[in-house]
Structures are given as C-alpha cells and as structure tokens.
Amino acid sequence: MVLGLFAFATFPAYLTYGYLQERVVLDSRGVHAEASVLHHQTSPRGSGTITVRPIEPPQFETTLDRWPAGTGVGDTIEVVYDPRDPGVAAAVDAPPVDLGIVIGVLLDLFALALLLLALLPLGELLRRAWTRLRDGRPDNEHLLRQRPPLAVHVSRRRPPRRQPHLLASLETAQIVLFVIVAPVATAVAVGMFAAGAVDDARALQDTGARARATVVRSDWGSDGWLDVRFSLPDGTEATSYISPRDHVYFEGNVVELVYEPGRPGNAEAVGDSSWQADTQAFVGLSIALAVAAAVSVLTGVVALAQRARRPTPTD
C-alpha cells in the first residue's frame, strides 16, 4: 500500500518538476524573439496549442500551450525560448494562471494527500518493527497467550482442500484475448519496429555515404524534427527527416548526414547518438515484452488447463 501510494504521487511531482525546470531555464538563458503564429490547434476538451515561428533568424517552429488572449493565426507575439532546446519556449505575455496550471495544482494537492495517507501504514510498520526490536517478540504475542483454547473438532475426516485456480475471476474468452493474444501481438508489433530500426542502423553503418544537407524546416514542437534536402552523387535531390538530440539546427543550417545510398530517406546526422540510442531502446523493449509475453502465455495456458479439468456441476 505504501509503495502504491508513493508511485501514484510521483506522476504529479514529475510534471511539476518539469514545469518549474523549464521556467528556471528560460529565466537563466532564455532568448526573446518576435514570432508569428502559424497554426492554432484546439482539442475537444477546450485546451490546445499554437505553432509559432520567429520572424528574424534563427528561424524554427515550436509549440506553446499558453498564449495571450485574443491571439490568432498570423498575429505576432513575443516569445522566449531556450537556444539549446527550442522546444522549451513560452509566450512572454501569457496569463500567469490558466486551466492547465489549475489542474497541475490540484494534482499536486492530490499527490500531497496520497503522501500523507501513506504515512499511516508506514508509521504502523515502523511501530511494529520497533516493538519487535525492543521486546524481541511480535507485539501481538500477549494477545496470543490470552486467547481461549480452540475447540477440538470431533470429526477426524477433513474436507478436501480445493486448490486455487489461476485467473479464476476471468472468463475463458478474456484469458485468451488479454492474457494470450494481446501480449503476443504487442511483442510481435514492437519486435517488428525493433527489427526495422536495427536494419536501418546496420545499413547506415555498413554502406552509409555522407552528404551535406540544408535544413528546410526545423520543428521543435515535439522531439525535434528536421526536414533536410541534399544532393546525391548523380545530381538528384533527396529529402529526409531526422531527429537530432545532441545538436540544435535551425532553418538554413547545414547538417552533415550519413544516408543509405539505396534508400536516401534513411539518414541521420553524423556524430549524433539519437538513432543508436533509439535502436537500443527498441531492442531492449522488444526483449522485455517477449519475456513478458512468454510468461503471460504460459500462465494463460495453465489457467485454461485447470479450467478444463474443473469438474462440472453434473459430475
């Protein structure tokens, strides 16, 4: 119970930490710029984002979740962004409090309530441990001594003990779908993505060629994507999307690429470790899901076998 309460409380704390960290970064090294609003996207829940692009170089695109009231597409607003990570940006004249901040405060209060609630069982555990260390016996041993003797059962015949069945609360169709089919399908899907990532990385390492590409679009609204253009040895122009993490590139910058000659769309920035890290993450995730699927399938098969041997009401 204590571990579960602490686990649920970490999520709001993580969101709050990220929000405060971004504000500290923008206050310490943020760069101010006039930006034009390119796109306004709203969600059914009433929240949304706007996409902005600085008017003067360096130019890039990023998204904001708070902006001055009455701002529309084509308007100009003042933004502050982190030059080391343009995805961290904010509107200068944005309202200090909005629905997102209110929800964040409520989540923080909920996390604080969970932490206070976790102190109750934690205090009980500490009290029992201290009693055991102090007296050398469980704290309820005196209760055991004061109990009346148990009544002696007259009959010597004991009823047969029923063995618990695995996944007894689930229906047969639910076991097949959620315990057998779904884990296997998830492991296969992630495994296919991992195999594709490994093949792409191996192709770049074995047959990769280098080229100098120009950044046509620098989008840092999500994880940072670059739309690049470069020329092949035969003079044709190729395009690719790359996601660098070790360096920041703006529109008009030149990026040195390594690309697969037979498939120029498979390209990455030279010296950037993001694609190797992504490949290793995919492989590790696929292995973990494969092991989990094997355990889940074995559990499901055993549960179905126990259910098949279960006596029917007519037996």
Torsions phi, psi of 212, nearest 5? Answer: -100, 120
Q: Which pLDDT tens digit goes with each residue over 265-288?
A: 999 998 877 667 778 888 899 999
Whether the bond between 58 and the residue before it is cis, its omega within 30 degrees of 0, is yes
Q: Which pLDDT tens digit goes with each residue over 61-102?
A: 999 988 888 888 999 999 999 999 899 999 998 887 777 778
Torsions phi, psi of 291, nearest 5? Answer: -65, -45
Question: Residue 159 has what pLDDT?
Answer: 58
Q: Give the separation between CA 150 and CA 131, rounded to whole angstroms.
A: 27
Q: Tokens standing for 3?
A: 């571990």
Question: Residue 19 has what pLDDT?
Answer: 84
Residue 162: pLDDT band with limits 50, 70, 90: low
| CATH, domain 210-270, list 3.30.730, 3.30.530, 1.20.1630, 2.40.50 | 2.40.50
Percent of the chain exceeding pLDDT 70 equals: 85
**How many CA atoms, within 13 angstroms, populate the side-chain half-sphere of residue 310?**
16
Q: Give the separation between CA 46 and CA 99, rounded to whole angstroms.
A: 9
Q: Tokens standing for 106?
A: 């409520």
For the 2-101 domain, the top CATH level (class) is mainly beta
Domain boundaries, the chain: 2-101, 210-270
Query: Given this chain, do its domains 2-101 and 210-270 carry the same CATH topology?
Result: yes
Question: Residue 149 has what pLDDT?
Answer: 54
